[in-house]
Amino acid sequence: MSEAKQFAVFGGGCFWCTEAVFDELRGVHSVISGYAGGKNQNPTYEQVCMGNTGHAEVIKIDFDPAQISFRDLMTVFFATHDPTTLNRQGNDTGTQYRSAIFYADEEQKAQAAAFIKQLDDAKTFKDAIVTTLEPLTEFFPAEGYHQKFYANNPFQPYCQNMIPPKLTKLHKQFGELLKSHK
C-alpha cells in the first residue's frame, strides 16, 4: 500500500458506533460506513439486516500512516468493542455484527494476526478473541443516511445509549490520538 494514504476496514458491530469513534482520530481523512465480506453485490441495509448476505456492517477508514499507524487503529478498534463475542455486540446479534478485520493486503493480515496473538497471549480479555481476519474483496458504501449517522442524529435513542460510552473510553485512553489533541 502507498505510504501517502492507506485504508483499513473494520467490522465491530453497528457501523454507526465504529464510525463515531474513528472519525475523531488524527490522521483519519474519512470514515465511510458500508458492507463487506458477503456474497451480494451492492447490498442494501435491509438485506444485510436479514443476516443472510454474509456481509458485515463495516467502516472503511482512509488514513495517513505518517500521522496514525495501522497498529494504532487496531488498538482503538479492540478497545472500543468486544472482540470476544461471536456475531454479537451488545443487543445486536448476527453475522452482520461480527468482529472482523478485512485486510487489504498480506502485510495488514500479518500485522492483525500478530496483534491478536499478542492480545490473547497477554490475556487482555477474559475470553479469547474471535475477531475474524478476512480478505477485503469488495467494499460497498452504505446508503447516504448511514454516513455520519451519530453526528447527524445524536439524540437517536440507540446512539444515545451505545456511542457515548465508547467515546468516553476513547477520550480517556487515547487522548494523544485525537484530532483535538494539541
Question: Considering 14, 17, 49, 159, which one is annotated as catalytic?
Answer: 14
User: Nearest-CA neighbor of 81 among 31, 130, 146, 142?
Assistant: 130
Cα–Cα distance, 87 to 50 (Å, whole number): 14
User: Nearest-CA neighbor of 144 among 57, 38, 34, 18?
Assistant: 34
Residue 5 φ then ψ, to 5°: -150, 135
Q: Which residues partner with 152 through β-bridges?
A: none
| Spacing of C-alpha 88 from chain mean position | 14
All three cell numbers of 119: 492480545
All three cell numbers of 66: 505518517
Active-site residue flag, 14: yes
Cα–Cα distance, 113 to 115 (Å, whole number): 5
Amino acid at 60: K
Cα–Cα distance, 74 to 72 (Å, whole number): 5
| Residues assigned a catalytic role | 14
